[in-house]
A and B are shown apart, each in its own frame.
Chain A
Amino acid sequence: STTGESWSLTLTIIYSKTDFSNPKSGWEAKVVEFFKDRLKEKDAHTWVPSLNDVPLHYLKPNSLVKFRCLIQDMFDPEFFMGAYETVDPSTNAKVLRCGRYKDVTECGVSLVDFNSRNTVTAERQTFYCVPIPGENPWVKEISSSLFVNAAPYQARVVPSTSYAPTRQKRSYEEDDMDDMDTQPQKQREPHSGINSSQGHTEQHGNGDCKRQETEAPSSQTASASHLDLNFPLPGEKGPSCLVKVYEDWDSFKLNDTLEVFGILSVSPALSALADEKDASSSILDPTESMETAEEQRVHSPPASLVPRLHMLYARPLPHNNPLLPSATLEDNSAFLSSTLSEMASVRAELLTYLTHVLLGDALAAEYLILHLISNVYARRDVLPLGKFAMNLSGCPAAALYTQRFYQIIQQLVPSSFYLGMSLQNMNQMRLVPKKDYVANRLVSGALQLARNTFLFLDETHLEQGQLDTTGVRNVTALGNLISWQKVDYDFNYHQMEFPCNINVLIASEGRSLLPSDCQIHLQSQVSPPNMEEYLSNIQLHPQTSSQLNKFRIYLSVARQLDYSISDEMTKSVEDDFVDMRKDDPQSVSAEDLHRMLVVARLLSLSLGQTSLTRDSWLRAKHIDMLRRSRMEQHQCVNGNEP
């Protein structure tokens, strides 16, 4: 039998030996400790099946599973029966049972004694979690290949269900997905393009519906098509989950990315309860008629579509790159030192690669690397430190250059999103999440992204025309995101601010209308007659994955390194600044110093250096000067100058 099951068996044993009625026994803590210890064992986590990879119907109810996800919404806390007593009507025997980690009471033939004095009321919190938005296909592939225990699931499930999902069918599905991912410009355009914001609801409805039919035909198929799983980005797939949290729920924040280990609950009873409400009129029960049908649908969706996961333990994810060891970098010094020693060489290779991609512009490629490893590492009151939003101007508008460019980046970063800033998109898309008070949930928007997601804004799509109210709001939201790294979610009666950490790259022809921390004008050294051909020739193909993986590891590690400035360097930077201002006070402002400090930081990290050196500082100054002199050449006045 599988590990997940054996562990849930252990849980049952713990249950049977525990005196639940005694709140002081502390058994809850013991259970959590037990699982934490087990999961710390070497590679233990690779033995637990993941909801991200294994289709829901392969997984056994009440077994231990994991789920890599983002907290999209937080529901109200609920009170439940932490312990209750059942009475067998024939023998009158009483049994005390535990309600933790379960949705439905377990009674068998006996009935719950509501008058029991041993009933314990407890509180738990529900989070609505979705797979990490914009997670790139390579991340999914690699994570699922890490799951060493896949075979038993397929072998066992096939006979147990009348429906036999053969390996062929499964792989067909995957191929289908791969197709879509390798040609995103064709698939994505209809999504993030014209009919996006309104259209995507129906689209994933249908998508899910299809998924249902091929994977697990059930009676819920019909209702599934009405269900909006509320993914932040259009065109997303995968399960969403109601995660029940029993401890410390205040420590979780919206948009946190987690790996949740918990007990899967897909009890058909949950769906039955939901169905029944639809069927019979709810007149009989006024407490439930108070919930609107929408609210019902959102808060108690069929468990076959949105499984419940009772959290035992959650690991916050500092990144979602499966190529990095799951332990933090400090705990894994062997890995860290081996990567650090290679960093300079990998950087050189990556620089060459990106220079080709950027049509031979090495300076732009250097800045691109800095941008890709940038990260908001601290906030000083309202000021986010370390952000490095980049405006790549001078992008060739022709031949879908920007889209090919995005695909190349997509292969390097774990999560990304391409947003074509066409007028129609800006006027119609929902970027900012909004609270829907009827359904009582936070309707997601494209800016509800996990930390370090690469957001590519394609301004070459923008044409002249009228922005309507939504458009203005969307542009303001993007501006706020770039300047303050925060998104003001719309709660109808007020706005609420959520900090974020998103790498924004704006590709434009002239200077962008959005603010940015640094603007670099692309100077192409080559002018290939056929851009399409040129780019597909240089693009690394998934077959050359070892090269790609090196780059992927490099970018994720560089972002997570610590960094410091010695007192000596502080002094020298100060001197430099004073000197520069002495010559020409107009030339360098405080803002320029801000930027140069960030550039110096990122430059050091990109070389694997964890403290600032004189060389790096000079190099940072040098490339910033090069960049600025280039900007002066391309001073085209379009009204976006500060």
Chain B
Amino acid sequence: MSSPTSTPGRKRGRDGNPATPSSEGPTSPPSQRRRGQDSSNGDLMPMPTSPATDMLSPAAPQDTSLFSSPRASVLPNEVDMSSPLMYGTPSSRVEGTPRSSVRGTPARQRPDLGSVRKAPQVDLHSEPPSADGAVASEPNAGQRLVIWGTDVNVGTCKEKFQRFLQRFIDPTATEDENAGLDLNEPLYMQKLEEISVVGDPVLNVNCLQVQSFDAELYRQLICYPQEVIPTFDMAVNELFFERFPDSILEYQIQVRPYNALKTRNMRSLNPEDIDQLITISGMVIRTSQLIPEMQEAFFQCQVCAYSTRVEVDRGRIAEPAVCRHCNNTHSLALVHNRSAFSDKQMIKIQESPEDMPAGQTPHTTIVYAHNDLVDKVQPGDRINITGIYRAVPMRVSPIQSNVKSVYKTHIDAIHFRKTDEKRLHGLDEDAEQKLFTEDRVQTLKELAAKPDVYERLSSALAPSIYEHEDIKKGILLQLFGGTRKDFSQTGRGNFRAEVNILLCGDPGTSKSQLLQYVFNLVPRGQYTSGKGSSAVGLTAYVMKDPETRQLVLQTGALVLSDNGICCIDEFDKMSDSTRSVLHEVMEQQTLSIAKAGIICQLNARTAVLAAANPVESQWNPKKTTIENIQLPHTLLSRFDLIFLMLDPQDEAYDRRLAHHLVSLYYQSEEQIEEEFLDMAVLRDYIAYARTYINPRLSEEASQALIEAYVDMRKIGSGRGMVSAYPRQLESLIRLAEAHAKVRFSEKVETIDVEEAKRLHREALKQSATDPRTGFVDISILTTGMSATARKRKEEVAQALKKLIQAKGKTPAMKYQQLLDDLRGQSETAITKELFDEALRSLADEDYLTVTGKTVRLLA
């Protein structure tokens, strides 16, 4: 039984050469560079796993005592019990800790840190050429001690951390992040209080906060996590039991740092990162069974029944050769069920698709989770993991002297954070936050400052698609989205911030191409086709895992594109049941599931970009939008913008189109690059605006919006119809906010409202123009029928009623006869549909009933 947790070379080296510390570390400046060197020379030295190679180490015989009786003394003999060195050896049994209550609470081993107990310290005073050695007085002698191989002084480090805990107040904290905490009090002291109440002895520490408080401490934490974290543990326990002497914890508090900035991306891990604290993001792809790992072996003498315990040291157990009680050799046997084990699990994570360069396959990394981190994550979870990066040499083959010259790498997990977990609660700022370099931010801001940024961006969008500028502008605003507002306290719930867009038009007008482009542009885009997707594929379904019999919620395209865009092609070909799930998603932005005992509401704050073809193969300009695409108006009214993509058929347009296409085919790639914004810039621009810009309405803007809305309603009122509904006002607000985001403006101003109005009017002009009257009529979209059409229906019904009344007392009439009569007397053409509708409205009045081909009068 052994453990891979320990890192080979360094410890070995330290134990092996205690006599020559002067040649190593402490003299050199405690910079990362030095450490980097160290890691390539010393740290990576493979651990000699077989005794044969062990003996090779020239210094090995000196410390045999350490191996044969590891438990004999907690501390190496050379260390004085009263010296501050005590702190440098954070034993798992903190017997030397001064505070009684700390002693009363058992410490729990931290296999995530490897074995750290025996790290000796070196006194810088032993360095002969110490410049300030003479100046240093006795009392601060302790300050000169550092842990071997590092520049960490335990006393200082502990003090600094305690100061951090006691004083740190997060200046950037906002109310909703830290519910229930007083923002003006030290954050971590409140967390300690929480621990004393809840009894969960884990303190998560945000490394970013440590950095802002004490950069030096942060550097040490990142570079020497194995030494610094146990020191933090000690510090926090002392502090805690001083503060809450009576609280009873299951074991001592463990500090779990997260959000280390050292490495963000799995791909950028390199030999320099070994043994450092790193945070990377990724997706869990496989988890192993629970592995019991021996922490302490229990040996019993076969002869005299004397028992002894041996702790695992760097993955190995030194079996005592001689019984100390009866002095028989080789008489001790391992007793498994009295040995102590800890839980361990292997987790494989794969880099997230967003982090990958195109054309390459994702990398994977092995992570070991220990104790309570076991079973915290499931395959498919997206996580941020903080841990220590390790490299272990491949096993030395006992028969061969040749060695495979490759190391195995893994991460010992200290902290997990699921990035998609919060989807159930709200936006997770940390997970969404994409890191931008200062240069990048500068470029983006310069771009934003340009007066024509809006036009620039919209023309950068899908440059291969010709013109359709308003559509591109609409999609651009959709990509930015409105400002998220929370009205849940007033009972209204969330306001939708996403802009939904429907494109309809002739086949072959590059609608699919636009959708493909958007899908490729946004990080959380999903692309489905109405033909191929079922309601289940769009929403979520419950699946029983065949192995574990566990119910698993599998999410579909809409949930997967939460905070992204769901592109649905061939929207018209979608079945009714599938379409019906969209109702909830497109207005409430949630998805309710009640299946197999799982009842929940998932967030699906996704913007929908849909494309629909007309029912007839060509768009019929004589019909309204609804008639052309045959979609229920309840669904249509949920789209903020509905655009028609039609072949404009005019000469100037044709010429420009031809020019555009021809140049597409002969321009070289470089020319294309020059002409348009890079897709990556556009992507970053959008990501930046979405994350950092939250525009609010200014006074003038709200006034302008009110006017716009009133105007819209006025237009129709003259002709006796309603031309705008509150939904349209909401759309306007969203569009105006999105436009402000494009300008990187925190304030929605009048120009934003103007553009929103213009775009909205353009879209309406295209989609809600009544082909009979030529007027824009919003009711086409909201009720499915234009006001004129409704009026016409009324007129026909009245004419029909008159006709029947004129016929006198005939209880039953032939359907066809009646139609012909009506056509005969009417001066306008009466279609069969119109006639049917008239009949239906009369039937609604209980005037007549239609059975088959006969019309009967009632009463």
Contacts and interface: CB of A to CB of B under 8 A. Distances in A.
Interface of A: 73-74, 76-81, 84, 87, 89, 99, 102-123, 250, 253-255, 269-270, 272-273, 276, 284-288, 290, 378, 380-383, 385, 435, 437-438, 440, 442, 472, 476, 483-484, 491-494, 496-499, 563-565, 570, 573-574, 577-578, 581-582, 585, 589-591, 593-594, 597-598, 601, 642
A438 B286 contact: yes
Q: Most chain-B CB neighbours within 10 Å: which of A89, A102, A114, A472? A: A114
A437 B346 CA distance: 14
B661 A378 contact: no
B45 to A, nearest CB: 4
Contact of A84 (B56, B405, B510, B520): B405
B41 interface: yes
Given A254-B361, A563-B666, A593-B658, A582 B651 contact: yes
Given A115-B45, A585-B647, A269 B400 contact: yes
B672 to A, nearest CB: 7
Contacts of A381: 462-464, 517, 520, 679
19 contacts: A79-B271, A79-B391, A103-B404, A105-B404, A250-B360, A254-B359, A254-B360, A380-B463, A380-B664, A437-B286, A437-B348, A493-B380, A573-B658, A578-B651, A581-B649, A594-B661, A597-B662, A597-B665, A642-B507
B403 interface: yes
Contacts of A118: 41
B407 interface: yes
Interface of B: 2-4, 8-9, 12-13, 16, 39-42, 44-49, 53, 56-57, 270-271, 274, 283, 285-286, 288, 291, 293, 315, 346, 348, 350, 353, 356-366, 379-380, 391-395, 397, 400-410, 462-464, 466, 507-510, 512-513, 516-517, 520, 532, 617, 647, 649, 651, 654-655, 657-659, 661-666, 668-669, 672, 679
B463 A111 contact: no
Nearest to A109: B401
A442 B361 CA distance: 9
A500 to B, nearest CB: 10
Most buried by A among B353, B366, B462, B665: B665
A570 B663 contact: yes
A91 to B, nearest CB: 14
B368 to A, nearest CB: 9
| Interface of chain A: mostly helix, strand, loop or mixed | mixed
B665 A121 contact: no
Contacts of B391: 79, 121
A156 B387 CA distance: 55
A229 to B, nearest CB: 18
Contacts of B463: 380-381
A284 B257 CA distance: 32
A382 B360 contact: no
Contacts, number: 229
Given A111-B401, A578-B654, A74 B520 contact: no
Q: Which of B3, B47, B283, B405 has the most A CB atoms < 10 Å from its CB?
A: B405
Given A114-B9, A253-B360, A287 B405 contact: no
A78 B363 contact: no
A574 B658 contact: yes
Contacts of B655: 574, 577-578
Nearest to B368: A290
Nearest to A496: B353
A593 B647 CA distance: 14
Contacts of A109: 401
A498 B16 CA distance: 52
A119 B464 CA distance: 53
A638 to B, nearest CB: 15
A114 B403 CA distance: 11
B56 A87 contact: yes
Contacts of A476: 532
Contacts of B516: 382, 484
A497 B380 CA distance: 19
Nearest to B401: A107
The 7 closest A-B pairs by CB, nearest first: A253-B359, A380-B464, A577-B658, A574-B658, A565-B666, A79-B407, A287-B4
B353 to A, nearest CB: 5
A121 B661 contact: no
A585 B649 contact: yes
Nearest to A97: B405
A382 B513 contact: yes
A591 B466 CA distance: 12
A105 B405 contact: yes
A554 B631 CA distance: 53
A119 B37 CA distance: 11
A63 to B, nearest CB: 19
Contacts of B360: 74, 250, 253-254
B405 A102 contact: yes
Given A122-B271, A496-B353, A78 B658 contact: no
Nearest to A493: B380
Given A381-B520, A382-B520, A597-B661, A76 B364 contact: yes
Contacts of B285: 437, 492-493
A590 B510 contact: yes
B665 A290 contact: no
A328 B425 CA distance: 58
A114 B661 CA distance: 64
B357 A250 contact: yes
A105 B658 contact: no
A497 B393 CA distance: 35
B398 to A, nearest CB: 9
Contacts of A601: 665
A116 B41 CA distance: 7
Q: Which of B357, B393, B466 has the most CB of A within 10 A?
A: B393
A114 B53 contact: yes
A113 B464 contact: no
Contacts of B379: 493
A290 B353 contact: no
A226 to B, nearest CB: 22
Contacts of A77: 363
A121 B271 contact: yes
A81 to B, nearest CB: 4
A565 to B, nearest CB: 4
A570 B404 contact: no
Given A564-B666, A570-B662, A585-B649, A107 B41 contact: no
B508 A642 contact: yes
Contacts of B668: 378
Contact of A290 (B47, B366, B464, B657): B366
B403 A105 contact: yes
A493 B40 contact: no
A114 B405 contact: no
B730 to A, nearest CB: 32
A117 B42 contact: yes
B665 A598 contact: yes
Nearest to B361: A74
Contacts of A107: 401-403
Contact of A111 (B47, B53, B407, B666): B53
A272 B397 contact: yes
Given A120-B40, A382-B520, A115 B657 contact: no
B464 A78 contact: no
A396 to B, nearest CB: 31
Contacts of A590: 466, 508-510, 647, 657, 661
Nearest to A476: B532
